[in-house]
Amino acid sequence: MDIDDLEPRKGKPQLKNLEPMGLNELREYIARLEDEITRTQIEIDRKEKHRQGLDGLFKA
């Protein structure tokens, strides 16, 4: 368990101001976001597989 899981959830995070960013900065920002999306999808997949395993265990 992560300590962050114990913290109360806050509202939506503030959107980043993209206006002052240059083209390269925007592309780098997109790349970081895509990496985070990939990391998040991997975690979702891991948790779904875990849940499927538990569902199979308790349905038996």
Given a cut of 80, is residue 3 above it in pLDDT?
A: no
In angstroms, the Cα distances linking 29 to 13, 15, 21, 22 are: 16, 13, 9, 10
pLDDT tens, residue by residue, 35-58: 999 999 999 999 999 988 888 777
Computed over every residue of the chain, the mean pLDDT equals 88
Angle at 49 between CA 43 and CA 51, to 5 degrees: 100
Count of structural domains, the chain: 1
Output the DSSP codes for 15-47.
PP--TT--HHHHHHHHHHHHHHHHHHHHHHHHH
Question: Is residue 38, in this structure, part of any structural domain at all?
Answer: yes
pTM for the structure as a whole: 0.66
**What is the per-residue pLDDT for 58?**
75
Range of the domain at 26: 22-60
Q: Report yes or no on 4 lying in a domain.
A: no
Q: Is residue 10 included in any domain, yes or no?
A: no
